[in-house]
Amino acid sequence: MDFIEQVKKNLSGKLRIEDGNCGTTHKVLKEISVQGGKAVTWERPDGVFSKILDNNGNVVGEGEGITWPPSILFALVEGGFFPKEIESQLIKSLQCIIDMEKVADIYGYGRVVTPVAAAYNEVWKNGGRVAIRRNSWGVEVVFIDKYDKEIAVGPISYCPTCGTAATIPRAPALAAKIKEELKDKRNTGKDKYERGMENHFFIKNDRICCEIIEKGQVLGRALRCCIAYAGVAAEVNAGIAGPKWGALFKEYCRICPTKLCRKGKNTGEEANNLLVSLEKKKLKTDIRMDTYITAMVKKDGELLGEGIGTVCAFSSLMYAKARCIQLRSEIEVVRE
């Protein structure tokens, strides 16, 4: 049995729409890692290119996306790692790839957190808000103005941060403003592209590991609770990201109430299932940017719970679930 078929066999019956694009990607990457494979990504001007390698280092899938995780998922789809019925649904849930060039035109090189933070600040500053909701296997992001009118609805995307990045081009005035604000800002992705760096992602000790490699040398390594967070943390450890992020992430991991990485769980799977539960209870989630990305869960407009996160609102949701008694009571969370 070849590598791909072995991975598919071991995951048979274990892939669930509730886990979403993000949780599903982590689940498949874990099995690939168990079999000795990995995902490798490279920053490019128009986003990120990725390859899936088998246990012999052979390429068994290639893909592209606006940043690392959706690029990896696209490579998994292209490699044939999913049953046909799931594959077709995942393709529909990766609509953000359609807007890759428009997203890259704003900042580029697979960097999404910086323009996303700017978008959150701008929308809220003008009296609006940013909402997230599940759609098929993915997430949809909506920009809403102060009159409670939807001004931009993004494509079905990998996660809240990717979804927000893909929504920005659909609000042309906002996109132009953010592009102007960021035109002279340092872009770590561009630096990595010019230096020919690689990002290697795999699961190690039930944690997502990222290694930043340049000319065969590992410059930085990090193990975290999701692909994106591991990637950014590895950049910090490699000395190619600003010290501000390093300090923020170190503090976040210290105070994190979930410690998913110690439990062999990933943020994407847990948060997608949480978002499904919230929506079944008719609860809505807004996102804003403070020091950290912040998620606010509301019922009939009233705040039930609030949480801070790292590079994505999924971690913010998990924080809210862990910290907010009223929210836990509403969704009937059972303590483990």
**Segment 55-82, tens digit of pLDDT:** 999 999 999 999 999 999 999 999 999 9
Return d(Cα 180, Cα 11) in angstroms, integer. Answer: 45
Tokens 């990002």 locate to 199
Q: What φ, ψ does residue 254 adopt, rounded to 5°?
A: -65, -40
Sheet holding 129-135, edge to edge: 150-153, 138-144, 129-135, 284-289, 293-299, 302-309
Residue 98: predicted pLDDT: 82
Return d(Cα 74, Cα 96) in angstroms, integer. Answer: 11
Residue 331: predicted pLDDT: 81
Taking the whole predicted model, whether its pTM rises above 0.85 is answered as yes
Tokens 């924080």 locate to 319
Tokens 């690939």 locate to 32
Q: Residue-wise pLDDT tens for the chain (336 aa)? A: 799 999 999 999 999 999 999 999 999 999 999 999 999 999 999 999 999 999 999 999 999 999 999 999 999 999 999 999 999 999 988 887 888 999 999 999 999 999 999 999 999 999 999 999 999 999 999 999 999 999 999 999 999 999 999 999 999 999 999 999 999 999 999 999 999 999 999 999 999 999 999 999 999 999 999 999 999 999 999 999 877 777 888 888 888 999 898 888 999 999 999 999 999 999 999 999 999 999 999 999 999 999 999 999 999 999 999 999 889 888 875 444
Residue 335: predicted pLDDT: 40
Return d(Cα 31, Cα 60) in angstroms, integer. Answer: 14
The one-letter amino acid at 289? M
Percent of the chain's residues with pLDDT above 70: 98
